[in-house]
Structure 1
Amino acid sequence: MSLKSKTITGVFWSFTDLMANHGIQFLVQIILARLLLPEHFGIIGMILIFISVSNAIVDSGFSQALIRDQHTTQEDYSTVFYFNLFVSLAIYGILFSTANMISVFFEEPQLTTIIRVISLVLIINSLAIIQKAMLVKKVDFKTLTKISVIAVILSGGLTIFIAMSGFGVWSLVINMIALQSIQTGLLWYFNKWIPSLTFKVQSFKKYYSFGYKLLLSGLIDTLFYYSYFVIIGKMHLTNQLGYYTNAVKIKDLASFAIVSTVQRVTYPVLSSIQQEEERLTFGFKSVIKTSAFINFPLMVGLAAIAKPLFIVLFGDKWIPSVIYFQLLCFAGMFYPLLSINQNILQVKGKSNVILKMEIIKKSLLAILIVLSILLGFGIIGLIWTSVISSFVSFLINSYYTAIEIKYSSIEQIRDLLPSFIISFIMGIIVFEVGKFMDSNDLLQLICQIAIGIAIYIIVSKILRVQELDTLYQMVLPILKKIKGGVE
């Protein structure tokens, strides 16, 4: 299969995954937000940092190392599998033992039992890392899409049933465990791989030398990302953390959906041409410009329609989340660009540079967070540090990318500027339109979305923005595949 065909096929199934998987998650989130209280989401928000950091340690960057390696053996896979499993068991033991201390820190008695149960996802996840890496390496996103959609439907249905039965925060706990359990079971069913009874030290050293730097950079990124949850959970009421947690969740369903779709397709594809400099640079330019063309208007548009969106979908009790969500959308504009720039460094094997970047970026973010707390800016001030950090991080990532390929930071900014300007013009108009339609939230929402899409396409067409044609050329094969599947 050619590079273009492989990419289009990957994009098609990732797009299907995006629409089905994240669409279903979004519907489940809407229902849960109406059934549960902000406090329930706040309790889960308190422990997300522990689960996310632990998951990063369990993976240890080995999955990315396996995907990048073009000559992986059965011994390599088996070695990494046993390492992941051992680490997950060790971390589960640590979290089980320290659960009461965490509960005391947050002054939330329920946390002890919740942490001891929810931490089981670490062990379950460790059993799926190799299976998922093998499918990604083969660019088999068709199978991954089937697995994720089935898992989201089954776990979502179970979660809603439990929430309707009055189990409160435990419905969110069961959702995480059920989702990961079903995904793991299906990965083993569809990907017929069994580990050998072997652990090769040479294989471990080979992948560890690349993976541990990704692990450290990932840990730094995860710690700072979830530090907001810890600070808000400790310094403010639980319901405020609930408002923030739900705002983050909705923003992530949109922004990180784009990030994961682009990253998981481009990384294995770009890895396959890592020695062909011209093709690599051309592919990178196309990906980053198209990603911005999609993500910029999505994030700006969501910020513009935030209030009617939250009222229609979640109800009046979630209005305090609106301002958090709007600021988070502005921060989310640059997330795909950060990931794509980092992809190039991973493809080039520059995990040491990735680690260096994270240390620089998070040192600056730490200064901003401390200043925000000392000056008493509250939750709004904290989120503004995230907005500022996202833009500065893009400049840093693009600077280091330019060292590896012939595509400077200035060139990136110049290429992204048309999408950026058009998005904000569209966003301002959509926001102002909403002021004149304040009587019916649903009608306002529908009109704002329609006007926003129309303005963005028309202005892009008038200014002859190349990415509009690029997107059309990408979507056309997808539509043909969908039509062929229906027929």
Structure 2
Amino acid sequence: MTLKHRTFSAVRWTTAAAVVRALVQLAQLAVLARLLVPEDYGLMAMVAVVLGFATVFTDMGVNSAYVQRQDVTPEQRSSLFWLNASFGGGLTLLVLFCSSFIAGFFGDERLTPLLMLASITFVVIALGQQVKMTAEKTLDFRPVALIEITAALVGFFAAVIAAYSGWGVYALILGAIVNATAVTVMAWLFLARGWRPMWRFQYSDVRSFLGFGGALVGNNIVNEFNRSIDLLLGGRMLAASALGLYSLPRQVVFQIQGLVNPIITRVGFPLIAQVQGDIPKVRSIYLKTLNMTAATNAPLYLGIAFFAPEVVTIMLGEKWLAATDLLRLLAIWGFLRSTGNPVGSLLLGMGRADLELKWNLAMLCLVPPLLWMGSHYGTLGLAWSLLGFTVVMFIPGWYVLVRPICKAGLLEYSIATLRPLLIAVMAIAPAHYLTLAMTNVYLHMIVAVLISAPLYMGLSFLLNREWLVAMRQLASPGRTPKNNTV
């Protein structure tokens, strides 16, 4: 298969996996939001902050280096596997040991057993991570997608059964553990293809990978801090119930990003790595992935922003209506944040994790003080701070991260990002105002979608036809592109 054929095949399968996983996670969110209380989600948000930081160290960035490198020897691969397993086991022990101290920081001893149980996921994930990354490295996403879909369903049923049984917040942790275990077991069954690691670990085998991975880990630590600082401050300054009211709409926004962005970024990273010596081709791939990400995300996020009360009622239940304004602000922030996500694939594919680290270190100096001030005005203050900062950093982000790597101009970067947003506003605003008088939320949403979806597609045909062509190619597995360029 040509590179373009393999790319479209990979995107189709990551699309299937991302859509099903996101739908399963949204279904889990909708079911559990009715069975659990905001306090449960507040506790889970604090656990998630800790796990997010610890996850950065699960492989010390060597798996990304493994994907980026095209000349890995069997000896190096085995040494990398045992390095992954060691990091995963070490993290599990570290979180077990530190759980009571972390609970003391947040001022809630209920976190101790939750963190101890959740730490199991580190060693479980580490044992199967490299096997899965090997398939992704060769753009063989079909079996990976099927495994992730199956694991998501198994984790969903485990969480729902536990919640119905009265396990409370433990249902959320159990679902994550079951999901991780299913992925690892199936990865060895269906992706290893007979490969087994040698009983070998040599530092010389992994030294060069740690050099790349070290910069990536440093970047990921800072990035995770910037990503989670709102929850970290919220955990210190807000009650668990208030943090839960903030974290659940935030989770909805991240679920939408999880629906679309992995389809592009998981394929974009190895794809850019394969053509990294051809800057015009790299620029073309990046701008196309940026446009595809923005054009797919825009109607979803803008739809949530316009119809926030209806979305909260349908997805979470009426007891969460106090989170409506938060959801609206976070949806707009989520769109802008999601369009910045593909730059990670660009930088990793070009071997420039160091540049992303420098950028995130600069953000580390700016984001925490801003959010700390915003947190004094409660959850809405946090949301407004996030949105305002993201808007301000739009042009600096292009200038520092995109322009020097692939030579994309500000105009083409802005068009790829903002044109879908304007098209979405033009399509959804009329639907919103035409359906204002409807009182039945389900009928309201159905009619709004029937109005806005054709409008968005029609306007995209006129103003962003490249996105529709790409979507048609993805939806037609038998369709052969006219040329083999990416």
> Normalization by structure 2: what TM-score?
0.93
Superposition map of 1:182-197 within 5 A = 182-192=182-192, 193-197=195-199
**Counterpart position of 1:477:** 476
Aligned residue number for residue 84 of structure 2: 84
Cα distance in 2 between the residues matched to 1:96 and 1:469: 49
Q: Distance in 1 between matches of 2:261 and 2:245?
A: 23
Cα deviation, 1:357-393, whole Å, max 9, x if unaligned, reads: 11122322123223324xx322111122222333345
Check 1:434–1:307 CA distance in 2 against 1; reply closer, same or farther (3 A cut): farther
Retained in 1: the 8 A contact 2:304–2:331?
Answer: yes
Amino acid at match of 2:283: T
Q: Secondary structure at the match of 1:127?
A: helix
Q: Name the counterpart of 1:215.
A: 217
Q: 1:136 to 1:391 in 2, by over 3 A?
A: farther
Shift in Å, 1:480: 7.1
Alignment match, 2:131: 131
Between the aligned partners of 1:130 and 1:57, the Cα distance in structure 2 is 14
**Aligned with 2:339 (options 312, 337, 340):** 337
Look up the equivalent residue of 2:466 and give its one-letter code. Answer: E
1:423 matched to 2:424? The reply is yes
Q: CA deviation at 1:478?
A: 4.4
Distance 1:434 1:252 in 2: 27
- 2:68–2:273 Cα contact (<8 Å) kept: yes
> CA offset at residue 285 of structure 1?
2.0
- The answer to whether the 8 Å contact 1:293/1:467 transfers is no
2:403 aligned partner: 402
Measure how far apart 1:248 and its partner are. 1.9
Secondary structure of the 1:189 match is helix
1:286 to 269, 285, 288: 288
CA 1:334–1:243: 2 relative to 1, 3 Å: same
Q: Is the 8 A contact 2:305 2:329 kept in 1?
A: yes
Q: Is contact 2:11-2:474 (8 Å) kept? A: no
The 1:476–1:161 alpha-carbon spacing in structure 2 relative to 1, beyond 3 Å, is closer
CA contact (8 A) 1:357 1:396 kept: no
The partner residue of 1:254 within 236, 253, 256 is 256
Q: State the partner residue of 2:465.
A: 466
Distance 1:394 1:474, change over 3 A: farther
Matching residue of 2:62: 62
Q: Is the 1:301–1:430 Cα contact (8 Å) retained in structure 2?
A: no
Q: 5+ unaligned residues in a row in structure 1: which ranges?
A: 482-487
Q: Would the aligned equivalents of 1:290 and 1:470 in 2 still touch at CA under 8 Å?
A: no
- Contact 2:100–2:112 (8 Å) recurs in 1: yes
1:58 and 1:84 in contact (8 A); partners too = yes
Structure 1 residues 469 and 311: CA distance shift in structure 2, 3 A: closer
TM-score by length of 1: 0.93
Please give the alpha-carbon distance, in whole angstroms, between the structure 1 residues aligned to 2:321 and 2:223.
29
8 A Cα contact 2:19 2:260, kept in partner? no
User: What is the deviation of 1:449?
Assistant: 2.0
CA distance 1:427–1:364, change in 2 (3 Å) = farther
Cα distance change on mapping 1:377 and 1:316 into 2, 3 Å: same
CA distance in 1, matches of 2:445, 2:158: 30
Which of 294, 297, 305 matches 1:303? 305
Q: What is the CA–CA distance in structure 2 between the aligned matches of 1:31 and 1:51, rounded to whole Å?
A: 23
Mapping for residues 272-283 of structure 1, pairs under 5 Å: 272-283=274-285
Q: 1:479 offset after TM fit, Å?
A: 8.5
The answer to whether the Cα contact below 8 Å between 1:62 and 1:211 also exists between their aligned partners in 2 is: yes
Question: Where does structure 1 differ by over 4 angstroms across 4 or more consecutive aligned residues?
Answer: 478-481
**Per-residue deviation, 1:93:** 2.2
2:242 to 228, 240, 250: 240
Match for residue 232 of structure 2? Answer: 230
Letter in 1 for 2:47: I
Secondary structure in structure 1 of the residue aligned to 2:358: helix
Q: Which runs of 5+ in 2 are unaligned?
A: 481-486
SS at 2:196 equivalent? coil
SS at match of 1:199: coil
Separation (CA, whole Å) in 2 of partners of 1:200 and 1:392 = 47
SS in 1 for 2:108: coil
1:172 matches 2:172: yes
Contact 1:42 1:239 in 2 (8 A): yes
Equivalents in 2 of 1:367, 1:300: separation in Å? 29
Q: 2:366 aligns with which of 364, 367, 391?
A: 364
Partner of 2:154: 154
Q: Provide the secondary structure at the position in 2 that maps to 1:39.
A: helix
Deviation at 1:300, TM superposition (A): 1.0
Distance in 1 (CA, whole Å) between partners of 2:338 and 2:204 is: 35
CA distance in 1 between partners of 2:181 and 2:3 (Å): 34
Q: Deviations over 1:3-51 (max 9, x none)?
A: 2101110111011112222212211221111111111111111111111
Q: CA deviation at 1:116?
A: 0.9
1:279 alignment partner AA: K
Give the Cα separation in 2 of the matches to 1:336 and 1:40. 27
CA offset digits 1:211-242 (Å, max 9, x no partner): 11111111111112222112222222211211
The alpha-carbon deviation at position 348 of structure 1 amounts to 1.6
Distance in 2 between residues matched to 1:154 and 1:479, nearest whole Å: 31
| Change over 3 Å in CA distance of 1:406–1:224 after alignment to 2 | closer
1:434 CA drift (Å):
4.5
- Between 1:100-109 and 1:264-273, the stretch displaced more is 100-109
Give the distance between the partners of 1:285 and 1:95, measured in 2 at CA: 40
Determine if the alignment matches structure 1 residue 322 to structure 2 residue 324: yes
Structure 2: which amino acid aligns with 1:467?
E
Which residue of structure 1 aligns with residue 484 of structure 2? none
- 1:63 offset after TM fit, Å? 1.3
Give yes or no for the alignment of 1:441 onto 2:422: no
Match of 2:95 in 1: 95
Cα pair distance change 1:98/1:417, threshold 3 Å: closer
Counterpart amino acid of residue 293 in structure 1:
A
Aligned CA RMSD, in angstroms, stands at 1.9
Deviation at 1:143, TM superposition (A): 0.7
**Conservation of the 8 A alpha-carbon contact between 2:230 and 2:371:** no
Q: Which amino acid aligns with 1:304?
A: F
Distance in 2, Cα, partners of 1:381 & 1:144: 40
